Amino acid sequence: MIELIPALDIMDGKCVRLTQGNYDTRKVYRDDPLDAAREYEDYGIRRLHVVDLDGARAGRIINHRTLERIASHTALTIDFGGGLQSEADIAVAFECGARMISGGSIAVRQPDVFAAWLKRYGSDRIILGADARGGMIAVGGWEETTALELIPFIASWHEKGITKVISTDISVDGMLSGISPAMYKEIQKAVPGLYIIASGGVGNIADIERLAEASIGGVIIGKALYEGRIALKDLVRFTERTD
C-alpha cells in the first residue's frame, strides 16, 4: 500500500506553498505548522515531509525550531530537507527530531559530502532528493536547472547505496493539475528495488490511486490538502490498510 506523506513547506515559521518552486508565488496556508501536523496525525497519518524553504534558498538550515516543535509534540516520522549543506546542518536536523533527511543540492554540488553522510548514517536515514524540470535535475530551491539528467543521476546514487528517493516533477508542482505515473515508472524500470516517493501535481484521490496501482512506494501531498481538493477523511482508507 502506498505511503501517504503530507508536506509542510516552511517559510518564516509558517506553512506555505509555492507554484512550480517560484518563491514569488508564496501563499500562507497555516500560521502554525504544528496545528497542521497534529491534524494529520489525528487522521492516521504517520509520516511527514518538512521542507525548510528559507534554508533551501540560503543554503543552510533555518527553520529547525519549527521542526523541533513538530517532532516533540507528535509521534510522526519526519523527513526533513532544504538547505542542508554541512555536517553541522545535518546534526541540527537530527537533534531537532528529524528521523530522516533528504538532500538534493548537496548531492549535486558536494557529492563527496553527501556520500559521507550516506556512509555514516545509512540508507534508512538519508534520502536522495531528485527534483526535475524537463527531465533535468534542479537545485538551490529549484532556482537552478543543471545539466544532469534525472534517471542517470538517480541510478548513480543507487549504485552508491541510496535506497530511497523523493522525486518532484517541478513542472506540475503546486498546480493541482494531476500527477502522471510515467516519470516514476521510468525510474522504477531503470532502477529496480528503489523506494520511490512521488511529489508534485497531486490534485485528487485518483492521482494517489494511480500511483498506488503503479506500485510507487509513497506520495507527497501538499496543496491539495490545503485547498480542500483532498479531504483528510478520504485518506483514512489508505492509512487503515497499512495497520
Catalytic-residue membership of 24: no
Euclidean distance between CA atoms 227 and 54, whole angstroms: 22
> Is residue 131 annotated as part of the catalytic site, yes or no?
yes
Fill in the DSSP letter of residue 105: H
Write down how long the chain is: 243
Choose the catalytic residue: 54, 79, 89, 131: 131
Strands of the 144-149 sheet, one edge to the other = 132-133, 136-139, 144-149
Q: Which long-range contacts (CB under 8 A, 24 or more apart) does 108-111 make?
A: 108/137, 108/139, 108/146, 108/148, 108/153, 109/85, 109/139, 110/85
Instruction: Give the start-end residues of each E strand in the chain.
Output: 3-11, 14-19, 22-30, 47-52, 77-81, 100-103, 126-129, 132-133, 136-139, 144-149, 164-168, 195-199, 218-221
* Residue recorded with cell 538550515: 61
- Residues identified as active-site: 9, 131
